[in-house]
Every structure is written in structure tokens, then in C-alpha cells.
Amino acid sequence: MNPDTPSNFSCPIPIREYASVMLAHGGGGKLTHQLIEQLFLPMFDNAALAQRHDGAVMEFGAHKLAFTTDSYVVRPIFFPGGDIGTLAVNGTVNDLAMCGARPLYLSAGFIIEEGFPIDDLRRVVASMSRAAKEAGVQLVTGDTKVVDHGKGDGVYVNTAGIGVVQADRSIAPAAVRPGDAVLLSGDIGRHGIAIMAVREGLEFESAIESDCASVAGLVMALFEAGIEVHCLRDLTRGGLASALVEIAEVARIHVGVRETAIAVRDDVRGACEILGFDPLYVANEGRFIAFIPARDVDRALALMRAHPLGDGAAVIGSVSEQPAGLVTMRSSIGAGRIIDMISGEQLPRIC
């Protein structure tokens, strides 16, 4: 690994002490980071990976090109507000947007379990087609593999995406500066709770729907308005807390947030209490944070609030130099606490 790249995610147990992969290695918390930092990054040492961002940005002729991938293994495949197909398109589109890129092209790789109903496959593919049209991207190449019954779980979908970077500066954790405000695009926790409510058989007066959506249009509007965006991060696996901690650690800055500024719907908060979850760690699929210099905050907020996917946008905190690498939160009664990444497994197979 390049010794100049930050690599100080706190890892209580070195990876060599685990003999085998656990569900928590895929949960987006500490164990996922340990796997990335101690196994993947040393093997593939390059500048793009060293950015520790949602995607890679590379020079390509006169353009900068963003490239990203995610596999989707969500269970159940169909859930209120979307399905694995909607997720596979919007998740990758959003990762490109988080690199400051306008999403252009997607690939799709399907791993289908023998016996999966053709009608369900058709429904997933139709969702992908619809989501791609809505996000303004073309699905241009794909692959299908079938595995034996009992060696999969219905269908897994991988998408990779290519976008062209719109921002004239680097959008990455390293660009975050003391004094930046942290903007959150809306209420949190709906995707994770929509999934868990189905799995646990929870009943609500009206179903909690996933927030799954492409935020690329909203993000591009920030660039078109000339807002000086320093960093963007969507709040998927590991939720708001993990996104903040990752950025604070990589950028070696302190992020202070106010709990009262973070919107959580009452039904989502209620479900979190029943299920024993902290909404800060629950996955979202249509929410993001933006690090923006104080002088651009009013314009950015006005612009986000005028967009249907940002109408609940708010400033939730700000960046300072010290204590570097930490995220702290002040509660409604004024108490402070350190926000850490989650250690174990909170929500397996949420995306």
C-alpha cells in the first residue's frame, strides 16, 4: 500500500485473525473497511483506489471519467418502494453522481439461481429499464450466469457505471476543508426500515417505502449553479454515521453534527425502536451529504429544497480541524457523543 495514503481506520482485530468471511464483512462497517484496507487495497495499489471514494476518477482524453461498481444482494428482492432492479440502477447512478459525474452508461451482470421464476426476472429487468430511463442512463452491455439451485438466492445483480465528471475540482474526502458545512438532502432511514419491516413482518398504518431514487439530477443542478462542492457521499450501507466517519478519517478533519437537525420520520423512528436500530446507521438509497463552503450554503440549500428529492435538505453540522478523524454529535439535550462505525452486523443484505 502507498504509505502516503491514509489508512487509519480503527480495526480492533487484524483480518488475519478471522479464518473465514462473516456477514459483517459485507455490512459496510468496521469489518468491511478492514477487509478493504488490509486485503484489497494492498493488492491493487493505485491512485484511483487510494482516493477511498464511491468510484474512481481517471483522465480520459480531454475528459475526466468516473467508474464505479456495486453488486446487489438485497432480500427480499421486491420491497415497498422498489426492488433489486431499481436499486441496482439507482445505487450505481448515485455513486457516479457522488464523484461529481453525470451518469451515462451502465453494465448489468445477473447471477440467477436455477428455478428463479422468469416472470420475476422480467419484473426486475423492467424496473431496471424504467429506472435507467428516469436517471437518463443507457444500459449498454450485460451478462447472465445461472447457478445451481441452492447456490444463489433468486437473483443477484451487479451494475457498473461510467460517467463524465462535471465538477471542475476534485470531489473527494481529501477536498473537505475546516469551515465547510455539512448538508443532508432529507430524512434518513427509510430504505433500511422498508426492507426490515417486510423481513420482520411489521405492520404500519401505511407501508414505509424505500427512498430509492436517482439523485444525479439534483447533484448536477448543484454543479450547474456553480456551487463549490467539496465532497459528496450517499448514505447506503452503514447509513449517515458510517459516511461521516469515513470522510472524517480519510480527510483527517473533525465533523460536528447536531442531532436535532437530522430528520427521521416518526414511523421510521418507531420502527427503529421496535427493531433496536439507531437510524444513524440505517441504509438510505436516495439521500446524500454534501460538504460545501459556508459562503455557498444558502444558495445550495435553496436549490436542493426546490427539488423533490431534496425538499427536506438541512445543514446538519460543520467541519473543524480538531479532533482530527472524529465525528461528534450534540443531542437535543446538549450532551455530546462520539459517532463511530458500527462493529458488527446491523442490517445484512440491505442492498
Q: What residues from 104 to 163 belong to the interface with a copy of itself (CB under 8 A)?
A: 104-105, 107-119, 121-122, 125-126, 128-129, 132, 138-148, 150-153, 156, 158, 160, 162
Which residue in the block uniquely carries the three cell numbers 441496482?
Answer: 88
Cell, residue 17: 485473525
In the complex, least distance from residue 55 CB atom to a copy of itself, rounded to whole angstroms? 5
136, 25, 123, 28: which is closest to 89 by C-alpha? 136
Q: Tell me if 43 sits within 8 A of 142, measured CB to CB.
A: no
Q: By CB under 8 A, is residue 192 in contact with a copy of itself? A: no
Nearer to a copy of itself, 142 or 312 (CB): 142
In the complex, least distance from residue 30 CB atom to a copy of itself, rounded to whole angstroms? 14
Q: By CB under 8 A, is residue 2 in contact with a copy of itself? A: no
Among the listed ranges 99-107, 168-176, 253-261, 294-302, the one in contact with a copy of itself (CB under 8 A) is: 99-107
Cell, residue 18: 478471522
User: Which x/- pattern over 42-71 shows residues binding a copy of itself (rule: CB under 8 A)?
Assistant: -xx-x-xx-----xx-x-xxxx-x-xxxxx
As a whole number of angstroms, the distance between CA 118 and CA 141 comes to: 20
In the complex, least distance from residue 6 CB atom to a copy of itself, rounded to whole angstroms? 18
As a whole number of angstroms, the distance between CA 271 and CA 1 comes to: 42
158, 169, 137: which is closest to 64 by C-alpha? 169
Nearer to a copy of itself, 147 or 274 (CB): 147
Which position among 1, 11, 15, 202 is part of the footprint of a copy of itself (CB under 8 A)? Answer: 15
Which residues make Cβ contacts (< 8 Å) with residue 125, sequence separation at least 6?
A: 85
Rounded to a whole number of angstroms, the CA Rg of the chain reads 19
Among the listed ranges 34-42, 195-203, 205-213, 291-299, the one in contact with a copy of itself (CB under 8 A) is: 34-42
Nearer to a copy of itself, 210 or 318 (CB): 210
Q: By CB under 8 A, is residue 165 in contact with a copy of itself? A: no
Q: By CB under 8 A, is residue 1 in contact with a copy of itself? A: no
6, 5, 92: which is closest to 47 by C-alpha? 5
State the maximum Cα–Cα separation within the chain, in Å, rounded to a whole number.
57
As a whole number of angstroms, the distance between CA 33 and CA 321 comes to: 23
Which residue in the block uniquely carries the three cell numbers 443507457?
Answer: 138
Nearer to a copy of itself, 10 or 138 (CB): 138
Nearer to a copy of itself, 125 or 275 (CB): 125
Cell, residue 15: 483480518
Q: By CB under 8 A, is residue 19 in contact with a copy of itself? A: yes
Which position among 18, 177, 202, 275 is part of the footprint of a copy of itself (CB under 8 A)? Answer: 18
The DSSP element (H or E) to which 263 belongs, if any, is none
28, 300, 339: which is closest to 185 by C-alpha? 300
Which position among 23, 225, 324, 338 is part of the footprint of a copy of itself (CB under 8 A)? Answer: 23
In the complex, least distance from residue 22 CB atom to a copy of itself, rounded to whole angstroms? 6
In the complex, least distance from residue 105 CB atom to a copy of itself, rounded to whole angstroms? 6
Q: By CB under 8 A, is residue 225 in contact with a copy of itself? A: no
Q: By CB under 8 A, is residue 4 in contact with a copy of itself? A: no
Q: Cβ of 91: how many Cβ atoms within 10 Å?
A: 28
Nearer to a copy of itself, 21 or 225 (CB): 21
The DSSP element (H or E) to which 182 belongs, if any, is strand 181-184
Q: How many CA atoms lie within 13 A of 160 on its CB side?
A: 9
Residues 291-330 binding a copy of itself (CB under 8 A) are none
Q: By CB under 8 A, is residue 13 in contact with a copy of itself? A: no
Binding-site size for a copy of itself (CB under 8 A) equals 81
Nearer to a copy of itself, 162 or 297 (CB): 162
As a whole number of angstroms, the distance between CA 217 and CA 155 comes to: 29
Which residues make Cβ contacts (< 8 Å) with residue 122, sequence separation at least 6?
A: none
